[in-house]
């Protein structure tokens, strides 16, 4: 029976990252907490080389670098690769001073209402930003694109600033587990309607980014573009003492959906189909074309699925709901992808190295999917030892949903 004393622990969610310097530069609701990663690093004091095969916003690798370690993250999304490396960069005082100088120049140019870039080709852009907000962002993007020294450090700081501003003045809300649009009453009484308010926000955000950029990590890290199901982007000789990661949850929350305003503005995607194609490559992705392809997808014959999971998938498929077949397909494909990952990652873990996976269970209709137990069974099947499940917190959605740490150790005599 579940322990009813388990709390929601908001310090173990993305909320904790907002007040932690570079960790809070760009908001992503599914991101996990710097506090949780730090707690795990403190358990593993002997580790130095850290791997995060689902890097996301770079929390694990930045935490490791801040503690003087060496970290590598892998992500399939090129925007997140850029973001993570911008967080990990060591900024010089001269670069920060130049960035601060350009803030004054760009604000002065914005007051003169000069030229602008076209708005991004995001569907129904007027739903995202009011006309004054969109005009401001188009002029700000023009100034960044044309006036800023193309040195990577200055450019990174400016595009981080731009990303924070564009979401702060967007018509979106974060009072659900995923980003949503504000209701009509909010739009009619929209507060940020004047140029002065936007410039104030820009100035405050630039100051925040500048101040946090001064705190350089003592260690090093990098984020690489790659597929976590295969990890072939890693060098053959690379080995890690510790894996700390959080795969996408089985909840159909698309990272692409959450990141699309940033990705459209910065040119990482230019059409909805591109977003769907990228989501199809992502474990758990169901955005756009990814959903339609599920109907034709078939489980590979060599995929390990525990017997209980087969029964769970059958129960989802037989639910009286118009999408029950697709949801059963979605759950099966998620675990096929995770099985590929669990097998692949073992090659790059040192014998005796530990793995920590932060993961949540799921519920479809009235069927609970015990993700934590399935992942633990996959680790056992792959030859790991000391596999355990620790309940971390109660999630603030359905009452049956919790977050867990599934941990394991690679046997010391196993060098596969």
Q: Indicate whether 235 and 173 sit together in one domain.
A: no
Domain membership of residue 283 (yes or no) is no
Q: Indicate whether 301 and 416 sit together in one domain.
A: yes
Q: Indicate whether 239 and 195 sit together in one domain.
A: no
Res. 29: pLDDT tops 70: no
Domain membership of residue 353 (yes or no) is yes
Res. 115: pLDDT tops 60: yes
Q: Indicate whether 197 and 225 sit together in one domain.
A: no
Q: Indicate whether 318 and 350 sit together in one domain.
A: yes
Q: Indicate whether 109 and 175 sit together in one domain.
A: yes
Q: Indicate whether 97 and 208 sit together in one domain.
A: yes
Domain membership of residue 20 (yes or no) is yes
pLDDT of residue 90: 96
Q: Indicate whether 360 and 385 sit together in one domain.
A: yes
* SS3 assignment for the chain: CCCCCCCCCHHHEHHHHHHCHHHHCCCCCCCECHHHHHHHHHHCCCCCEEEECCCCCCHHHHHHHHCCCEEEEEECCHHHHHHHHHHHCCCCHHHHHHHHHHHHHHHHHHHCCCCCCCCCCCCCHHHHCCHHHHHHHHHHHHHHHHHCCCCHHHHHHHHHHHHHHHHHCCCEECCCCCCEECCHHHHHCCCCCCHHHHHHHHHHHHHHHHHHHCCCCCCEEEEEECCCCCCCCCCCCCCEEEEEECCCCCCCCCHHHHHHHHHHHCCCCCCHHHHHHHHHHCCCCCCCHHHHHHCCCCCCCCCCCCHHHHHHHHHHHCCCCCCHHHHHHHHHHHHHHHHHHHHHHHHHEEEEEEEEEEEECEEECCEEECHHHHHHHHHHHCCCEEEEEEEEEECCCCCCCEEEEEEEECCCCCCC
Residue-wise pLDDT for 219-272, tens only, equals: 999 999 999 999 999 999 999 999 999 999 898 777 787 899 999 999 999 998
Q: Indicate whether 74 and 113 sit together in one domain.
A: no
Q: Indicate whether 341 and 385 sit together in one domain.
A: yes
- Domain limits at 180? 93-213
Residue-wise pLDDT for 161-173, tens only, equals: 999 999 999 998 7
Domain membership of residue 85 (yes or no) is no
pLDDT of residue 190: 47
Q: Indicate whether 16 and 106 sit together in one domain.
A: no
Domain membership of residue 30 (yes or no) is yes
pLDDT of residue 9: 52
174 confidence band (pLDDT: 50, 70, 90)? low
Domain membership of residue 272 (yes or no) is no
347 confidence band (pLDDT: 50, 70, 90)? very high
Domain membership of residue 131 (yes or no) is yes
The residue-averaged pLDDT of 288-300 equals 86
Domain membership of residue 143 (yes or no) is yes
Residue-wise pLDDT for 177-200, tens only, equals: 556 666 554 444 445 567 889 999
The residue-averaged pLDDT of 313-340 equals 93
pTM above 0.85, yes or no: yes
Q: Indicate whether 125 and 39 sit together in one domain.
A: no
Number of structural domains the chain divides into: 3
Tell me the percentage of the chain whose pLDDT exceeds 90: 68
């Amino acid at each position: 029976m579940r322990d009813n004393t388990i709390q929601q622990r908001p310090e173990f969610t993305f909320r904790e990252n907002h007040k932690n310097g570079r960790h809070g530069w760009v908001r992503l609701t599914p991101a996990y907490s710097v506090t949780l990663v730090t707690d795990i690093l403190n358990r593993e004091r002997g580790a130095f080389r850290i791997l995060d095969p689902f890097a996301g916003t770079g929390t694990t690798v930045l935490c490791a670098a801040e503690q003087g370690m060496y970290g590598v993250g892998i992500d399939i999304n090129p925007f997140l690769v850029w973001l993570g490396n911008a967080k990990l960069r060591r900024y010089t005082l001269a670069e920060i001073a130049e960035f601060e100088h350009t803030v004054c120049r760009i604000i002065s140019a914005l007051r003169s209402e000069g030229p602008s870039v076209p708005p991004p080709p995001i569907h129904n852009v007027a739903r995202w930003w009011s006309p004054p907000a969109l005009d401001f962002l188009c002029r700000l993007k023009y100034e960044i694109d044309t006036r800023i020294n193309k040195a990577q450090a200055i450019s990174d700081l400016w595009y981080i600033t731009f990303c924070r501003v564009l979401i702060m003045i967007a018509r979106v809300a974060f009072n659900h587990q995923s980003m949503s649009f504000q209701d009509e009453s909010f739009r009619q009484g929209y507060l940020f309607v004047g140029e002065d308010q936007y410039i104030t926000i820009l100035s405050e955000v630039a100051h925040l980014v500048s101040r946090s950029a001064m705190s350089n990590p003592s260690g090093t890290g990098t984020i690489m573009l790659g597929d976590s199901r295969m990890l072939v982007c890693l060098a053959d000789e690379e080995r890690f003492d510790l894996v700390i990661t959080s795969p996408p949850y089985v909840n159909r929350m698309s990272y692409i959906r959450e990141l699309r305003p940033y990705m459209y503005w910065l040119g990482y995607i230019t059409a909805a189909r591109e977003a769907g194609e990228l989501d199809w490559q992502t474990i758990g992705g169901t955005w756009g074309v990814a959903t339609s392809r599920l109907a034709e997808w078939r489980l590979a014959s060599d995929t390990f699925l525990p017997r209980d999971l087969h029964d769970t998938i059958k129960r989802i498929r037989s639910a009286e709901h118009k999408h029950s077949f697709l949801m059963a397909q979605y759950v099966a494909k998620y675990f096929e992808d995770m099985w590929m990952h669990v097998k692949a990652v073992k090659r790059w873990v040192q014998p005796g190295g530990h793995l920590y996976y932060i993961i949540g269970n799921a519920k479809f209709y009235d069927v609970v999917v015990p993700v934590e137990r399935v992942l633990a069974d996959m680790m056992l099947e792959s030859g790991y030892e000391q596999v355990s499940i620790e309940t971390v917190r109660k999630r603030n959605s359905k009452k049956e949903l919790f977050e867990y740490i599934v941990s394991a150790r690679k046997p010391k005599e196993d060098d596969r």
